[in-house]
């Protein structure tokens, strides 16, 4: 590494050079600063984040090529990263319809990743066999781990009501229903009481000054119920996180740039390697939806095929995150926790005169 260049600068420059083509998120975390907010560990580290490839089986050995190529690009890039990331987080929705063919295909691709992978399950991976194959072949559905002074919690946030699960005549029909976006037949996601009890116990041993990062598939707050951009018992999860000084939630599922602040918790969505979702009406700060978004967001263009897919770069140097969204065929967007505002701020577009209007023509 060049003398006089910090590791963060080096990584940022390296990321800038790669930004045009890469569908992954590179996250750098440093716990040495933070004015006492974060527990000092002085060990900086990085991890990459790949989410929502939705690999789709056609027949035989055929899969939808565009989705394969998004995941492949992410994997190739992770393997070229320097410094090498300590691990890779996979954010869920590896499969489109939960088929073994899709999960096997994805695992074969992900086996080329030259780093350990921490897996988060998505609803597209779960609702065919209720997570059995995933748990048997890929990962536990929820767990925690510590890494260089940061406590990580991985939640399975896409569970739902047992009665809804039982009402479908076949596993395929259940999966097809849950795979729809705009779906009056759907059922809200939840973490569930058993997992909440586990979370409570897991966090008992963690000091409130320890930086806490929660990884989930659905957002752990309520955005738009008709599309299941929603976790029904989100408030209960938030209550368990309340006593921590620094809490950051990274989630997949929504396939778009999205950030928010609720009490002490900052939320950031990761983009998909497959496609972007448009924005529901709630983002217009419509009071009909509770709670409304606390932070106004400037949007990318969901009608551009590749806008909204890409990767991000998060730097935790000051004990809070600074996240650079690297959008394909669009300008980078830096969204960072701002102490004076008390929430994430888009460094370029947060001020009212620079905002673009919410898009309603979805």
Q: Which residues bind Fe ion (CB under 5 A)?
A: 52, 93, 122-123, 253
Assess whether the previous peptide bond of 33 is cis (omega < 30° from 0): no
Between 93 and 233, CB nearer to Fe ion:
93
> 3-class DSSP state for residue 177?
helix
Minimum distance between the CB of residue 343 and Fe ion, rounded to whole angstroms?
Answer: 25
- Taking the least distance from each CB to Fe ion, the nearer of 258 and 345 is 258
State the nearest-atom distance from the C-beta of 314 to Fe ion, in Å: 20
| Distance between CA atoms of residues 264 and 214, nearest Å | 13
Tell me the closest approach of the beta carbon of residue 38 to Fe ion, in angstroms: 30
Select 34 or 70, whichever has its Cβ closest to Fe ion. Answer: 70
DSSP-assigned letter for residue 224: B
Closest approach of Fe ion to the CB of residue 158, in Å: 7
Helix residue spans in the chain (DSSP H):
7-18, 65-80, 100-110, 123-126, 132-137, 162-166, 171-178, 193-204, 234-241
Q: Which is nearer to Fe ion, 45 or 275 (CB)?
A: 275
Distance CA 102, CA 120 (A): 16
Q: Residue 229 or residue 259: which is nearer to Fe ion going by CB?
A: 229
Q: What is the spatial distance between Cα 338 and Cα 320, in angstroms, rounded to a whole number? A: 9
Q: Toward Fe ion, which CB reaches closer, 52 or 346?
A: 52
- Burial class, 1, CB count within 10 angstroms (exposed 0-12 / middle 13-18 / buried 19+): exposed
For residue 315, CA distances in Å to 11, 15, 115 come to: 10, 12, 20
Distance CA 227, CA 232 (A): 13
- Identify which of residues 70 and 319 has a Cβ nearer to Fe ion in the complex: 70
Least distance from Fe ion to the Cβ atom of residue 253, Å: 4
Q: How far is the CB of 261 from Fe ion (least distance, A)?
A: 23
276, 257 contact by CB (below 8 A): no
What is the closest distance, in whole angstroms, from the C-beta atom of residue 272 to Fe ion in the complex? 6
Distance CA 267, CA 260 (A): 5
The one-character DSSP state at 320 is S
Taking the complex as a whole, how short is the minimal distance between the CB of residue 97 and Fe ion, in angstroms?
A: 12
Given the structure tokens 């998909």, which residue do they identify?
Answer: 272
For Fe ion, the closer of residues 126 and 244 by Cβ is 126
């Amino acid at each position: 590494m060049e003398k006089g260049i910090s590791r963060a600068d080096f990584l940022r420059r390296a990321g800038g050079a790669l930004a045009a083509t890469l569908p992954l998120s590179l996250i750098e975390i440093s716990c040495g600063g933070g004015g006492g907010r974060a527990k000092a560990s002085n060990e900086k580290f990085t991890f990459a984040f790949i989410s929502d490839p939705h690999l789709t089986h056609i027949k035989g050995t055929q899969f939808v090529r565009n989705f394969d190529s998004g995941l492949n690009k992410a994997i190739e890039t992770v393997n070229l990263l320097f410094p090498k990331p300590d691990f890779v987080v996979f954010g869920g929705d590896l499969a489109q319809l939960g088929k073994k063919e899709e999960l096997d295909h994805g695992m074969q691709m992900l086996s080329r990743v030259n780093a350990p992978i921490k897996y988060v399950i998505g609803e597209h991976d779960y609702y065919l066999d209720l997570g059995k194959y995933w748990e048997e072949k890929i990962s536990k559905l929820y767990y925690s781990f510590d890494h260089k002074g940061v406590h990580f919690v991985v939640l399975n946030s896409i569970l739902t009501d047992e009665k809804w699960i039982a009402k479908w005549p076949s596993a395929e029909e259940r999966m097809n229903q849950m795979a729809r976006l705009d779906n009056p037949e759907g059922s809200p996601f939840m973490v569930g009481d058993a997992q909440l009890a586990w979370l409570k116990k897991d966090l008992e041993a963690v000091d409130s000054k320890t930086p806490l990062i929660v990884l989930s598939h659905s957002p752990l707050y309520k955005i738009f119920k008709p599309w299941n951009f929603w976790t029904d018992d989100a408030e209960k999860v938030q209550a368990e996180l309340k006593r921590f000084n620094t809490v950051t939630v990274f989630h997949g599922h929504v396939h778009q740039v999205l950030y928010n602040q609720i009490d002490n918790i900052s939320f950031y969505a990761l983009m998909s390697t497959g496609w972007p979702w448009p924005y529901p009406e709630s983002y217009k700060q419509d009071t009909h939806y509770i709670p409304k978004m606390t932070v106004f967001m400037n949007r990318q263009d969901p009608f551009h095929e590749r806008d909204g897919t890409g990767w991000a770069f998060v730097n935790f140097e000051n004990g809070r995150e600074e996240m650079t969204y690297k959008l394909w065929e669009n300008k980078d967007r830096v969204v960072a926790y701002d102490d004076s505002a008390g929430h994430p701020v888009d460094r370029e577009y947060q001020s009212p005169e620079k905002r673009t209007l919410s898009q309603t023509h979805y």
